[in-house]
Amino acid sequence: MTEKEYNECVNQYADNVYRFIVKNLRHEEDARDIVQTAFEKLWRNKEAVENDKSKSFLFTVAYNQMIDHIRKNKRIQLKDDFSEDARQVHQSSNPNLKKALMQALNRLNETQRSLVMLKDYEGYSYEEIGEIMGLNESQVKVYLHRARLTLRTYLVSPENVR
C-alpha cells in the first residue's frame, strides 16, 4: 500500500470505522482513540496490507481494539443499562423509534450488537463479517439470526409498541 492509497483509505473509511465503534461503545473519546489506533496499525503494516484488503484490516483491528477496551475497562454493563433504559421507556409517553431501537440494541451482547452493526448499518457480507470478527460464515448467520430475534421480541413487546 502506498502513502497515497493509505490517505485515500483514511478518507474513505474513517467515518465508517468511527461510527461502528461509537455505536458499540457509546463513548466518543474512546471510539476516537480506537479508530486512531486502527489507522496507526494500518500505517505500520502498510507494506504487508494490500489496498483492496485495507477496509477489512481496519475493521478487524478496530473491532479487536474495542473488545480489548471493553474487557480492560469494564465500561459496558448491559444489565444496568437495560434496567435504566426500561425505566425510561415506561416513563416516556412518546418514545421515538430511534430511541427504542437503541434500547433494543443495548439488550444484545457485544458480539450480537457488533454483528447487527456490521451487517445492517455498514452493509458487510457474511464472509467479510466473519473475517472481521474471527467467526466462520455459519456462525455469523446463526448469531445474527439470534440477535435479530432478540431485537424483534423486544421491539414488538406490548410495553414498547405505542
DSSP string, 87-116: HHHHH-SS--HHHHHHHHHHHS-HHHHHHH
Q: Helix, strand, coil proportions of the chain in percent (round to 5)?
A: 80, 0, 20
pTM to 2 decimal places: 0.54
CA 13 to chain centre: 14
pLDDT at 18: 92
Residues 6+ away with beta carbon under 8 Å from 43? 6
What does the alpha-carbon distance between residue 135 and residue 18 come to, in Å, rounded to a whole number?
22
Are the C-beta atoms of residues 110 and 95 closer than 8 Å to each other? no
What does the alpha-carbon distance between residue 131 and residue 56 come to, in Å, rounded to a whole number?
7
pLDDT at 93: 43
Are the C-beta atoms of residues 5 and 36 closer than 8 Å to each other? no
pLDDT at 160: 61
Q: Is 76's pLDDT higher than 60? A: no
What does the alpha-carbon distance between residue 134 and residue 53 come to, in Å, rounded to a whole number?
15
Q: How many CA atoms lie within 13 A of 115 on its CB side?
A: 25
Are the C-beta atoms of residues 96 and 51 closer than 8 Å to each other? no
What does the alpha-carbon distance between residue 142 and residue 88 come to, in Å, rounded to a whole number?
31
Q: What is the pLDDT of residues 24-47, one digit of tens each?
A: 888 888 889 999 999 999 999 888
